[in-house]
């Protein structure tokens, strides 16, 4: 029997109703697939306590705090001070998710941009990586990320990257990481796979964004952290690597990007 790969799901939503009722079972299935750690992501800051509680209850789980851009107009505007305070929580390993989404919520682009800049400042203050959601907003996203970098460097991951090659190149130039989701395993995602193939391997990590975007053979069904193994298996040949090697490389990249999660895992 082949050894299990050492995988990480860098972005999931374990507090969402689709997953919250069976957290222990979902984590057990993830471990059985070789997914030993996961980061559950806060999308509304008022939900941070319940997201944190999941991370505190399970040694495999860490979390990030922020307001999703699609929620930015519905929620109180985040403050840098609040984000910095939340970042002191031992299980908090990132700031976000934040970003810009002009696909469904272009009418709130002004407040999204304000929120994004506040999250960038919090990442700069705390040293925790920024977790970016970007959809149909490549030009503004590149501009705002560059503006922040000119003021003060910060770490960042472009979560569930599915934008164009220009934003990918800009992100890599700034020293950021691209995150591969199940979208990259879809048969028609050849252009996206080409972007990842041109990206330095040390700038890539894996995620599910569960409960969304399940990779084949589960496309159209509820996603969960265990399925990051299917994405890894589908993408490893793109780099000419065996699954176990690709898993080890992307997990090492995760540990560099999320050092607090890496330290906590070693101490466990």
Q: Render each residue's pLDDT in the chain as its tens digit; 268 residues.
A: 567 899 999 999 999 999 999 999 999 999 999 999 999 999 999 999 999 999 999 999 999 999 999 999 999 999 999 999 999 999 999 999 999 999 999 999 999 999 999 999 999 999 999 999 999 999 999 999 999 999 999 999 999 999 999 999 999 999 999 999 999 999 999 999 999 999 999 999 999 999 999 999 999 999 999 999 999 999 999 999 999 999 999 999 999 999 999 977 766 5
Peptide linkage before 211 cis (omega within 30 of 0)? yes
CA quadruple 258, 263, 266, 268: dihedral positive or negative? negative
Peptide linkage before 97 cis (omega within 30 of 0)? yes
User: Residue 220, exposed/middle/buried by CB under 10 A (0-12, 13-18, 19+)?
Assistant: exposed
Alpha carbon distances (Å) from 177 to 169, 246, 265: 11, 16, 21
Closest CA to 51 of 40, 59, 61, 60: 40
Closest CA to 67 of 152, 140, 132: 132
Alpha carbon distances (Å) from 72 to 18, 106, 255, 264: 22, 11, 29, 31
Residues 123 and 99: their CA atoms lie apart, in Å, by 13
Let me know: does 72 contact 112? Beta carbons within 8 Å.
yes
Alpha helices by DSSP H, listed for the chain, are 17-20, 23-32, 48-57, 80-86, 109-126, 138-151, 165-173, 190-197, 228-235, 243-257, 259-267
Q: What is the pTM of this model?
A: 0.96
Alpha-carbon dihedral angle through residues 98, 230, 15, 249, given to the nearest 10 degrees: -60
Task: Kindly state the tokens that stand for 246.
Answer: 């690709």
Domains and CATH numbers, the chain: 7-267 (3.20.20.140)
Alpha-carbon dihedral angle through residues 166, 168, 172, 173, given to the nearest 10 degrees: 10
């Amino acid at each position: 029997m082949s050894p299990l790969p050492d995988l990480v799901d860098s972005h999931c939503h374990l507090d969402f109703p689709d997953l919250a009722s069976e957290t222990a079972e979902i984590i057990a299935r993830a471990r059985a697939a070789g997914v030993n750690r996961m980061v559950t992501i806060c999308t509304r800051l008022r939900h941070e306590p319940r997201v944190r509680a999941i991370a505190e209850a399970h040694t495999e789980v860490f979390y990030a705090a922020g307001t999703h851009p699609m929620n930015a107009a519905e929620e109180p505007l985040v403050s840098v001070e609040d984000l910095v305070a939340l970042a002191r929580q031992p299980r908090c390993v990132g700031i976000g998710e934040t970003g810009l989404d002009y696909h469904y919520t272009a009418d709130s682009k002004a407040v999204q941009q304000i929120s994004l800049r506040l999250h960038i400042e919090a990442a700069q203050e705390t040293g925790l990586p920024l977790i970016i959601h970007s959809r149909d907003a490549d030009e503004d996203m590149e501009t705002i990320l560059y503006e922040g970098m000119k003021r003060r460097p910060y770490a960042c991951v472009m979560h569930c990257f599915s934008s164009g090659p220009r934003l990918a190149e800009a992100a890599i130039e700034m020293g950021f990481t691209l995150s591969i989701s199940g979208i990259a395993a879809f048969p028609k995602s050849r252009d996206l796979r080409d972007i990842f193939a041109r990206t330095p391997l040390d700038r890539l990590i894996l995620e599910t964004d569960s409960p969304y975007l399940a990779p084949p053979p589960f496309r159209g069904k509820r996603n969960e952290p265990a399925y990051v193994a299917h994405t890894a298996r589908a993408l490893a040949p793109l780099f000419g690597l065996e699954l176990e090697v690709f898993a080890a490389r992307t997990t090492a990249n995760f540990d560099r990007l999320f050092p607090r999660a890496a330290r906590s895992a070693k101490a466990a």
